[in-house]
């Protein structure tokens, strides 16, 4: 009884957290899904759709999630496609029909997989977080760009893509990047004016000025009640999350029973298939064995012929694979040369200051504060006394951009030389460089 009450409390806390993204579900639906009841399938498909739409869509779906569940086939296909891109590999889940009439237990397993791998509860709470201060997200962590891992993706795409289409995509990307850059400049100018004009209006010893949201509240006091209600709802979600963290182990122990029920059903169907031939009468066993041996001999000879034909068909492809392996060896030699260049670059940058180390490891949500004493905008992490200045961060980013531009030009020149060497072997081909705007 104690374990049953604990799992009920854990499910109640989980349902309270899930209500923040607009999904309405109760612990009874979880119990029905454990036994694969069809009446719980629609609720769980709707839950998965609301969660994935809330995480991977920029639009706020919490207000219209109830009205959005109209055409079930499209929503279920959307859920399956997102889970497939995230790496969920249970084949029984993708074999479910797209009408939402069954598959409540498979949907429960997929939901639990998202909780464990994608950390969807933390993502939901982070999206529902109300920032009263001025924050910005930074990430200067080094990234390993290994394009050889993308070979399978490149082979799966269309090979006959027009170059003009790629140029059009590149132009759109540059246009969007310029719009994003100008919007960030406008935001920085606005924050600078707010921080400058509201100096010594804040009792906080770290900022001494008002944030953009606090300035809006001073300008429009009537929205204070709305902000207070939002903060209270966020506090209730955080309390539910604390309860969930205390009872999370109980939930995973309950999920073990769900796995056992799935494996038991799979074992029953397998046993039924294995014991199928034991139901024949004893008089027919000898005759059936002789017939079975003859059929096995014929099938074995057919398999031998098919294997020989397959070997002859696959022989040229194997030769091509050997050539590709040789190219991979050349690429490895190329990567070794790149590693040597990187080691030389590291030797040149060994004598950098500890401030550069702090800036290069910046990651996460940072708070922006104006410091009048040094005429700089100080950026410091929440709940931490470590500070850094925006000028140092800007200098580091400019140095990184210069290094990336140098590497890009080096790779571009190397690719051009390789292309010239390849086209030199061909006759009657003239390469014209694109016009510069």
The ranges assigned to domains in the chain are 2-129+237-265, 135-210+363-405, 287-339
Phi-psi region of 100 (alpha: psi -120 to 50; beta: other; left: phi over 0): left
pLDDT of the residue at 265: 66
Question: Rounded to two decimals, what is the model's pTM?
Answer: 0.58
pLDDT of the residue at 213: 85
DSSP 206: T
pLDDT of the residue at 147: 45
What are the structure tokens assigned to 4, written together?
């049953």
pLDDT in single tens digits along all 437 residues of the chain = 455 668 899 999 999 999 988 888 999 999 999 999 999 999 999 999 999 988 887 555 444 444 444 447 788 999 999 998 888 988 889 989 888 888 899 999 999 999 998 889 998 988 888 877 777 776 666 655 554 444 444 444 445 677 788 889 999 999 999 999 999 889 888 888 888 888 877 766 667 788 888 888 888 888 888 889 888 999 999 999 999 999 999 999 999 888 887 776 665 443 444 343 343 344 444 555 666 676 777 778 778 777 778 878 777 787 787 777 777 777 777 777 777 776 766 665 554 444 455 555 566 666 676 665 444 444 444 434 456 677 777 787 888 888 888 888 888 888 888 877 877 777 766 666 666 55
Distance CA 144, CA 282 (A): 67
pLDDT of the residue at 385: 41
Query: How far from 64 is each of 69, 77, 108, 188, CA to CA, in Å?
Result: 9, 19, 23, 33
pLDDT of the residue at 269: 46
pLDDT of the residue at 331: 75
Which parts of 198-284 fold into alpha helices (H)?
Answer: 212-219, 224-246, 248-274
Q: CB count, 10 Å around CB of 396?
A: 19
Cβ 107 vs Cβ 41: under 8 Å: yes
What are the structure tokens assigned to 126, written together?
């982070």
Nearest to 32 by CA among 104, 130, 81, 99: 104
Cα 72–Cα 75–Cα 79 angle in degrees, nearest 5: 135
Strand-pair category, 387-389 with 376-381: antiparallel
Distance CA 319, CA 262 (A): 45
Which residues make Cβ contacts (< 8 Å) with residue 131, sequence separation at least 6?
213
Q: How far is CA 30 from the centre of its chain?
A: 26
């Amino acid at each position: 009884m104690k374990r049953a009450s604990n799992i009920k409390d854990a499910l109640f806390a989980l349902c309270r957290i899930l209500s923040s993204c607009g999904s309405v579900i109760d612990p009874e639906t979880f119990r029905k899904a454990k036994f694969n009841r069809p009446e719980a399938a629609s609720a769980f498909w709707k839950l998965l759709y609301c969660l994935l739409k809330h995480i991977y869509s920029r639009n706020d779906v919490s207000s219209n999630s109830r009205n959005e569940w109209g055409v079930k086939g499209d929503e279920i296909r959307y859920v399956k496609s997102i889970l497939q891109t995230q790496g969920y590999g249970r084949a029984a889940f993708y074999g479910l029909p797209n009408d939402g009439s069954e598959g409540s237990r498979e949907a429960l397993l997929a939901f639990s997989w998202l909780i464990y791998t994608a950390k969807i509860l933390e993502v939901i709470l982070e999206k529902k977080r109300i920032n009263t201060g001025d924050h910005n997200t930074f990430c200067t962590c080094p990234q390993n760009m290994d394009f050889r891992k993308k070979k399978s993706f490149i082979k799966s795409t269309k090979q006959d893509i027009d170059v003009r289409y790629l140029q059009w995509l590149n132009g759109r990307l540059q246009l969007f990047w310029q719009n994003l850059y100008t919007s960030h400049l406008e935001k920085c100018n606005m924050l600078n004016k707010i921080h400058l004009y509201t100096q010594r209006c804040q009792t906080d010893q770290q900022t001494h000025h008002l944030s953009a949201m606090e300035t809006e509240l001073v300008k429009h006091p009537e929205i204070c009640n709305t902000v207070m209600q939002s903060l209270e709802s966020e506090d209730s979600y955080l309390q539910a999350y604390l309860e969930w963290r205390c009872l999370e182990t109980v939930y995973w122990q309950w999920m073990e029973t769900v796995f056992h029920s799935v494996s038991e059903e799979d074992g029953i169907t397998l046993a039924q298939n294995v014991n199928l031939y034991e139901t024949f009468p004893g008089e027919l066993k000898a005759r059936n064995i002789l017939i079975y041996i003859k059929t096995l001999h014929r099938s074995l000879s057919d398999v031998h012929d098919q294997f020989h034909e397959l070997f002859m068909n696959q022989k040229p492809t194997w030769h091509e694979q050997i050539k590709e392996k040789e190219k991979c060896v050349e690429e490895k030699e190329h990567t070794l040369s790149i590693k040597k260049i990187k080691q030389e670059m590291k030797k040149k940058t060994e004598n950098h200051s500890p401030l550069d180390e702090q800036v290069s490891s910046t990651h996460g949500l940072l708070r922006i504060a104006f410091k009048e004493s040094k005429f700089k905008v100080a950026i410091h992490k929440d709940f931490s006394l470590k500070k850094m200045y925006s000028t140092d961060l800007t200098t580091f980013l400019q140095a990184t951009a210069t290094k990336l531009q140098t590497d890009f030009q080096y790779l571009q020149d190397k690719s051009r030389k390789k292309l010239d060497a390849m086209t030199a072997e061909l006759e009657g081909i003239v390469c014209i460089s694109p016009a510069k705007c």
